Amino acid sequence: MKYISILLFFLLSTQAVAGWIVTNAKIKEVSSAIGTEEAFFIIIDGGSGLCADNQINFSMTHIGSEKKYDRAFSIALAAYMSNQKIKVYDYNDGTDDCSNADSIRVYK
């Protein structure tokens, strides 16, 4: 029983960091690079959550797949060009900041 409790503690504690880092926001700037890294960033206007009115970075290394990375950049551009609302998700990189987002969703 003790081992099950410990396992549950670790599983639940890692999930606590994962989640939407911004919702109901719009993108006011998109950049194709962050220095020499394989990464891009967006600057958020409004919204709610940890990264509201902040810069959010998307790193190909963190996302783990070139296809997922390309889709995230395409969605960010589409959201910017159409002035639609977005949500950004972080699956848990062990930090409480806006430096390694994983997923972006655009909606009306």
Secondary-structure class of domain 2-107 per CATH: mainly beta
Q: What is the pLDDT of residue 2?
A: 57
| pTM tops 0.85, yes or no | no
**Tokens 């939407």, residue?**
20
pLDDT tens-place string over residues 35-54: 999 999 999 999 999 999 99
Q: Does 10 score more than 70 pLDDT?
A: no
Q: What is the pLDDT of residue 94?
A: 53
What average pLDDT score do residues 79-89 get? 97
Q: Quick check: 76 and 40 in contact, CB under 8 A?
A: yes
Q: What is the pLDDT of residue 7?
A: 45
Q: What is the mean pLDDT of the chain?
A: 87
Q: What is the pLDDT of residue 93?
A: 55
The domain limits of the chain are 2-107
Mapping DSSP onto H, E and C, the string for the chain reads: CHHHHHHHHHHHHHHCCCEEEEEEEEEEEEECCECCECEEEEEEECCECCCCCCEEEEEHHHHCCHHHHHHHHHHHHHHHHHCCEEEEEECCCCCCCCCCCCEEEEEC
Residue 90 β-bridge partners: 19
Q: Does 14 score more than 70 pLDDT?
A: no
Pairwise pLDDT comparison (4 vs 104), residue with the higher score:
104
